[in-house]
Amino acid sequence: MRPPLLTKREFEILEFLAVGATREEIAHHLKISPETVKLHAKNIFRKFDITSYRDGAAEIQKFITAYGDNGMGYQLFHTSVEVSIIVNEARTQADWTIESTGYVVRGEVTELSLMFVDDNIISDVILNGQPAKLDDGAEMLLHFRVPLAKPIAQGETLVRQSRFVETARAGQKISDVTYASGTPTENLKITLTAFGNVTPLTCKSLLGIRQVAVRDLPNATVQQIENTVEIAISDPQMDQMFVIT
C-alpha cells in the first residue's frame, strides 16, 4: 500500500504503539488523556486501512523504518521511477536520466538531492533543469544538492528529473552499472543500452549480503532486445541494489 499521511501527533503515537506501549503509558508520556490516545490510534488505523495494530503490524513496521524518527530518514514515496542508462561503445562513459514522480510523506522538502558512491567520476549533474552543487562536507559519498525556491509540503506531489554523466577513471572501464532503490518506491523501471558487442547482460539484485538474479525475483521482469535490457520491479525493497554487467 502507499504510505498514509500522518499528523505529527499520530507519528508520535504510532512509534509508541510499535514498541508495545499501552494506551495509559502513551498518555502519560505525551501528557494527554487515554481517550485522546484512543482517538488518535483509531485515526491511524483508519489511514492504514486496518482495525488494530496487529492487523497491520508488518506494514506499520515498514513505514516506521522508512519514515520514523529513528528510521532511515526518508520523506518521500515514489509512485514511479524510470531510470535510463546509455553506455558508450568504449565503456568509458554512461549517460544517466532518472525521472521520478511521488509525494511528500513527512515534513516538507526544501531541496532536491542525489548521492553517489565515490567510485567513478560523476559530472554534469542537473536536477529539474538546475545545475546541482556538490556538498564539500560529504564523506565517502558524493552529495549533490539544488535548493527549492518554495518548499514542498506533506501530501504535495514531487516530480524530479535527474541527469548526470558517469565516467570511468583513467585507464579503466565501466564494468557494471548499479542503481540503489533507496526511497520507498511503488514501480521501478531500469533501461540500459550498451553499445558495442551485443552479449547477454547479467542483472543481479543485492540486498545486504544476499545476491540473486533479478529474473528469479517474483516481483520483477527482465527483457533484453539486442543491446538493450529492461528491468521492471514492483515494490522494490528499501536500499535494494540492482547491478547490470
The domain at 8-67 falls in which architecture? Orthogonal Bundle (1.10)
CA dist., res. 155 & res. 3, Å (int): 10
Please tell me the class of the 76-244 domain.
Answer: mainly beta
Residues facing residue 131 across a β-bridge: 126
**What are the structural domain ranges in the chain?**
8-67, 76-244
Instruction: Encode the chain (245 residues) as per-residue pLDDT tens digits.
Output: 899 999 999 999 999 999 999 999 999 999 999 999 999 999 999 999 999 999 999 999 999 999 998 889 999 999 999 999 999 999 999 999 999 999 999 999 999 999 998 789 999 999 999 999 998 765 678 999 999 999 999 999 999 999 999 999 999 999 899 999 889 999 999 999 998 765 667 889 988 778 999 999 999 999 999 899 999 999 999 889 999 98
Domains 8-67 and 76-244 share a fold: no
Buried b (16+ CB within 10 A) or exposed e, 80-118: ebbbbbebeeebbbbebebebbbbbbbeebeebebebee
